[in-house]
């Protein structure tokens, strides 16, 4: 919910003489997005539509997330790129009574979230941004509210540190009489220089659902040897790894280490040439060469949330190498 006199730049939490410089948070003139900057140079941008992280830069200004050149940033469509948030359903679920009528990937990424504030401290080198969406939030997609009439409260936190980015969600059921099922996914688009040079480790021997091919969906197991996954064509897989972290390397050099907290699955996705060219909001057509989605989530089944209870999950993407 917008505040009439919301400042464009939030004040620092402390102005005590002698304290080191503090992170800053700045809004765009139309209050559609905000940017957080660390004194060390790192930054993120978050679109309030979907609470979508659309940029993450290191101290040198190097972008770590892929964003389509045709991504809609005006609230008319879910963003193609960055880190869209999937809730309460992954894909579509025509056989699940509670979510069968919801649009693909639910409504979290197509609702306007409320910015709840920032937090930091003298001992914290980064900044934490909190966003809220609930069944009572004015920005909730009205069609989705009618199709999923549960009382819920979501708190989504984005924490920027000099060498890492963490996104976490707490999904609370506010209705003691109506338990609900949900799925959660952080649809992270990592930027790479050359998809053919990418190797992903941490998935060896993991079972997965392959959503590409004539027999799709099919259940398979990632080979233990070699211990790396390479991308050589359209890829859409839902893994259930035993390891908590997945490492993305390029040309033999580790670049990202993605660690999951209470998220059992990892989706690996790249549309490759034909599918990328067929998607109107995926530009340039050869953009698939510069991205790979490594998406922590809880999507292999359903998370049952009883009244008064909550589901929590998080990912941390650490820059390595």
Q: For each of the chain's 321 residues, which pLDDT tens digit applies?
A: 444 444 454 544 444 556 778 899 999 999 999 999 999 999 999 999 999 999 999 999 999 999 999 999 999 999 999 999 999 999 999 999 999 999 999 999 999 999 999 998 655 689 999 999 999 999 998 888 889 999 999 999 999 999 999 999 999 999 989 999 999 999 999 999 999 999 999 999 999 999 999 999 999 999 999 999 999 999 999 999 999 999 999 999 999 999 999 999 999 999 999 999 999 999 999 999 999 999 999 999 999 999 999 999 999 999 997
Given the structure tokens 């025509």, which residue do they identify?
A: 94
Contact assessment for residue 309 and residue 173, using Cβ atoms and an 8 Å cutoff: yes
In a domain, 263, yes or no: yes
In a domain, 48, yes or no: yes
In a domain, 55, yes or no: yes
Residues in the chain: 321
- Cα distance between the two ends of the chain: 41
The candidate with the shortest Cα–Cα distance to 261, out of 164, 122, 192, 181, is 164
Is 105 designated active site? Answer: no
CA-CA distance, 268 to 295, in Å (whole number)? 6
Predicted local confidence at residue 8, as pLDDT:
52
The single residue of 42, 114, 187, 199 carrying the catalytic annotation is 187
pTM above 0.85, yes or no: yes
CA atoms within 13 A on the CB side of 237: 22
The single residue of 45, 114, 250, 295 carrying the catalytic annotation is 295
In a domain, 120, yes or no: yes
In a domain, 230, yes or no: no
3-state SS record for 223-253: CCCCCEEECCCCEEEEECCCCCEEEEEECCE
Contact assessment for residue 189 and residue 289, using Cβ atoms and an 8 Å cutoff: no
In a domain, 189, yes or no: yes
CA-CA distance, 129 to 51, in Å (whole number)? 10
CATH assignment of the domain containing 95: 2.70.98.10
Range of the domain at 143: 24-193+259-319
Composition of the chain by helix, strand, coil, percent to 5: 10, 45, 50
Q: Cβ of 44: how many Cβ atoms within 10 Å?
A: 25
Q: Which residues of 195-213 are buried (b: 16+ CB within 10 A; e: fewer)?
A: beebbbbbbbebebbebbe
Is 295 designated active site? Answer: yes
In a domain, 114, yes or no: yes
Residue 145: phi, psi to the nearest 5?
-60, -35
In a domain, 4, yes or no: no
How many distinct structural domains can be found in the chain?
1
Predicted local confidence at residue 145, as pLDDT:
83
Tokens (6 digits) for 173:
């059921």
Predicted local confidence at residue 161, as pLDDT:
95
Predicted local confidence at residue 18, as pLDDT:
61
Q: How far is CA 290 from the centre of its chain?
A: 18
CA-CA distance, 319 to 256, in Å (whole number)? 5
The candidate with the shortest Cα–Cα distance to 26, out of 45, 8, 5, 3, is 8
Helices and strands: H and E segment counts in the chain: 2, 21
């Amino acid at each position: 919910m917008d505040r009439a006199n919301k400042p464009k730049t939030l004040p620092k939490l402390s102005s005590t003489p002698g304290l080191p410089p503090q992170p800053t948070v700045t809004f765009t003139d139309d209050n559609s997005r905000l940017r957080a900057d660390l004194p060390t140079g790192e930054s993120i941008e978050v679109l309030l539509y979907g609470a979508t992280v659309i940029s993450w830069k290191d101290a040198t200004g190097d972008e770590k997330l892929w964003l389509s050149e045709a991504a809609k940033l005006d609230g008319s469509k879910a963003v193609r790129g960055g880190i869209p948030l999937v809730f309460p359903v992954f894909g579509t679920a025509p056989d699940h009574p509670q979510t069968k009528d919801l649009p693909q990937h639910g409504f979290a990424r197509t609702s306007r979230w409320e910015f709840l504030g920032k937090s930091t401290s003298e001992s914290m080198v980064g900044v934490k941004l909190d966003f809220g969406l609930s069944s009572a939030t004015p920005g909730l997609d009205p069609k989705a509210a009618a199709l999923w009439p549960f009382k819920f409260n979501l708190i989504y936190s984005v924490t920027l540190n000099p060498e890492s980015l963490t996104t976490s969600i707490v999904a609370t059921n506010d209705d003691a009489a109506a338990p609900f099922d949900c799925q959660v996914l952080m649809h992270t688009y990592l930027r790479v220089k050359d998809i053919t040079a990418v190797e992903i480790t941490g998935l060896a021997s993991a079972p997965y659902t392959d959503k590409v091919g004539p027999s799709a969906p099919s259940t398979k197991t990632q080979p233990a040897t070699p211990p790396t996954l390479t991308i050589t064509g359209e890829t859409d897989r839902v893994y259930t790894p035993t390891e908590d972290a997945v490492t993305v390397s390029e040309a033999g050099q580790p670049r990202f280490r993605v660690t999951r907290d209470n998220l059992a699955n990892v989706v690996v996705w790249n549309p490759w040439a034909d599918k990328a060219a067929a998607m109107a909001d995926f530009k340039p057509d050869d953009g698939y060469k510069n991205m790979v989605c490594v998406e922590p989530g809880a999507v292999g089944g359903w998370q049952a949330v009883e009244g008064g209870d909550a589901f929590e999950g998080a990912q941390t993407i650490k820059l390595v190498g």
